[in-house]
Amino acid sequence: MDSNRGSIVILSIIVGAIMFLLSSFLLYSIYLDHQIANSSIDHLQSYYLAEDKIYLCFDEGSSYYDELILGLKHYLKYKQFGNSSNKNLIIIDEEDLNPKDTKNEIKLDMFMKNNILNGGILAQSDYKNINKRVYGAFTFINPFYSTDKPILSKNTLEDLEEGSIDEFMEQLFNDFKLETFENDIEIIEVNDFQKIDIYFYDEKTRKIRLDFFRYKDEETAVGKKYLSTDEIYLISKDKMKNSEINIYANDVRITDILKGIIYVDGDLNLYGKLNFNGIVAINSGKVNVYSKDRPKIRGMFILNNYKDDEETIEEKIDLQYRQIVVDRFGLYIPDYIKPNLYLVKEGGTIEK
């Protein structure tokens, strides 16, 4: 009898011990699963925080997008991001960071892909001491300007979606304007003159001279302007009457090059051995050449409602598309730089 009782006690102890071990193992498994789940959530959260910083820079309504645009413009012009220690950085404000994340630097770089300059962007986070790197790659030149063709018009953009082409041309020409960068150019916008003569250069002052006329048949200029550089940023608007711009090159100093951007609602007339590097935009007009030698233009023509056969332009002008020239002056045209993020992935480095 006593022997049976002892056996029962021992069996109860063994069963209790087994149940204790099983329950402890079960509790530990639940705890471990919980920790793994939390760790997985924290890793995801850290990744998403880094990713969100990249998307913040591509939000057109944010100040970080403005910083990105300025950085890209600076790179296009100077082939570097800047001269300060933060030259390729965008700094995220503290109020835009998660309280458990201290990484506030976004790094930028540039790389070539298929002979086209692309951008790279790197964001990091350290949420709950979990470090994540997220890398993005993007194009930044508006695809409408990336045709590698010297003439940009509805005809040359026919490979793109028709509706988007119409919208692009309408936005560009309805209110053509330029945006100064670092206040480094003087934009001459003319609305009340029908004719503008540009002399490159004036014999007395050795500067570029602009003569302004109220009417096309007027013989005496009602205004004059001298430029201090060889760059011109001229917008001549007169959609009702159609204006004209005449450029007179100096046949003696044929090595001189006029640079910049010229827009006209009407005709562009070229005289002499002109060398021009830049962008010419013609709305509801045409280009005429009055010289024995073909003018040399490196850059791009942008045409809307052209009043002649576009193919004759390259017969009249030695016209060549130059990406470096188009980039140099395109950065002053709104939406020339239009970043488009095409890759986001975990990992990646930027050495700069």
Helices (H) and strands (E) in the chain, counts: 5, 17
Give the whole-angstrom CA distance, residue 259 versus residue 37.
62
Residues 179 and 293 in one domain: yes
CA distance readout (Å), 175 to 185, 239, 285 = 19, 11, 16
Residues 51 and 92 in one domain: yes
Residues 207 and 136 in one domain: no
Cis before 201 (ω within 30): yes
Residues 70 and 160 in one domain: no
Residues 106 and 177 in one domain: no
**Inter-residue contact 315 to 110 (CB < 8 Å):** no
Burial class (CB in 10 A: 0-12, 13-18, 19+), 126: middle
Q: Which is it for the CA torsion 81, 82, 88, 93, positive or negative?
A: negative
- What is the share, in percent, of the chain residues with pLDDT greater than 90? 57
Residues 138 and 149 in one domain: no
Which residues contact residue 299 at a Cβ distance below 8 angstroms, ignoring those fewer than 6 apart?
Answer: 150, 276, 277, 278, 279, 280, 321, 322, 325, 326, 329
Residues 101 and 175 in one domain: no
Among candidate residues 287, 293, 295, 243, the one with its CA nearest the CA of residue 269:
287
Residues 81 and 219 in one domain: no
Residues 118 and 171 in one domain: no
Residues 172 and 318 in one domain: yes
User: Per residue of the chain (352 residues), what is the pLDDT tens digit?
Assistant: 555 556 666 766 776 667 766 666 666 555 554 555 445 678 888 899 999 999 999 999 899 999 999 999 999 999 888 755 568 999 999 999 999 899 999 999 999 988 888 999 999 999 888 899 999 999 999 988 888 899 999 888 876 665 688 888 888 998 899 999 889 999 999 988 999 999 987 677 778 999 999 988 888 999 999 998 999 999 999 867 789 999 998 766 556 789 999 999 999 999 988 999 999 999 999 999 998 889 999 999 999 999 999 999 999 999 999 999 999 999 999 899 999 999 999 987 775 4
Indicate the number of domains in the chain.
Answer: 2
Domain span including residue 323: 144-331
Residues 138 and 271 in one domain: no
Residues 48 and 112 in one domain: yes
Strand blocks (E) in the chain: 89-91, 105-113, 116-127, 130-141, 151-152, 187-190, 195-200, 208-213, 223-227, 231-236, 243-249, 258-271, 275-283, 287-290, 296-304, 318-320, 337-346
pLDDT tens readout for residues 185-231 = 999 999 889 999 999 876 777 789 999 999 888 889 999 999 989 99
